[in-house]
Amino acid sequence: MFGKLAPLVAFFAFATVQPALGASVTLASRSTSAIFNPPVTYPTAGTVWTVGQNLNVTWDLSNAPQNVTDTEGLILLRKSGVTTPLILQHNFSIFDGAVTIAVPLVVEGDDYSIILMGDSGNVSPDFTITGSGIAF
């Protein structure tokens, strides 16, 4: 019936239906798992980090649900509310409660924060990074 257009019609039919099928599977699997969004406990507002230091980033595990499915953690650096490409730590369990990071060589400023990612993200209060000698 479609002749030469049959492969193209089949492709578009699949491309139209497949996202809807994927969404229903995703929604069904998320309904049985809990979202864990642990608050960052360090760094706190007013904290000062110095370039080159090794420091612990910590978060509160007191309200951790039992059925979290995505437990792999990631910590990213933000400046002025914008996420930078700097990964401070990765491949740790969100249930660790703390990881050690090395303060990277960045422009000095008092508008840094970190994002703690597991199956959700939580942002720390702003803190300061000094010691690079680089300023804007």
pLDDT, tens digit (0-9, with 9 covering 90-100), for 82-133: 999 999 999 999 999 999 999 999 999 999 999 999 867 889 999 999 999 8
In-domain check, residue 136 = no
Q: What is the pLDDT of residue 105?
A: 97
Residue 78 sits at the vertex; the CA angle it makes with 76 and 83, to the nearest 5 degrees, is: 80
**How many structural domains are present in the chain?**
2
| Rounded distance between C-alpha atoms, residue 31 and residue 23, angstroms | 12
In-domain check, residue 74 = yes
- Indicate the SS3 state at residue 65: coil
In-domain check, residue 15 = yes
Name the residue range of residue 16's domain: 1-32
Q: Give me the residue label for tokens 């979290």.
A: 68
Tokens standing for 65?
Answer: 């649900």
Tokens standing for 126?
Answer: 């702003």
In-domain check, residue 119 = yes
Tokens standing for 84?
Answer: 């930078």
Provide the whole-model pTM. Answer: 0.72
Same-domain pairing of 71 and 102:
yes
